[in-house]
Amino acid sequence: MMTSFDARLRLRGQGGLPLGVEIDLTGDRMRVTADGTFVANWALHEIAISPQGDGFHIEAEGEEVILNLIDPEKFATEIGIHNRNLPPRP
């Protein structure tokens, strides 16, 4: 089963407008696309996801990105984060 989320993505510490992306969670993977262009494809067990006040911080491949989601509660449930303070909706 695939679950999709609309989100905004930015690199940690970078200003400017965030990139509009689509997040697809299928099985144990997170796929990120922007306007149909592949951005990332991570195995969930290979990344660290931390909900913080400014979004979901994702550490992968030596980089950190921040995601802001329209439905942070559903995203947290899908990736298995429970009983934590979730970031606000954008």
Q: Is the pLDDT of residue 81 over 70?
A: yes
User: What whole-number distance in Å separates Cα of residue 38 and Cα of residue 23?
Assistant: 11
Top pLDDT among 29 and 2 is at 29
CA distances, 78 to each of 17, 21, 56, 62 (Å): 26, 17, 13, 24
By mean pLDDT, which of 2-6, 31-35, 77-81, 85-89 is the weakest? 85-89
- 39-53 per-position pLDDT tens digit: 999 999 999 999 998
pTM listed for this prediction: 0.84
User: Residue 18's pLDDT is what?
Assistant: 85
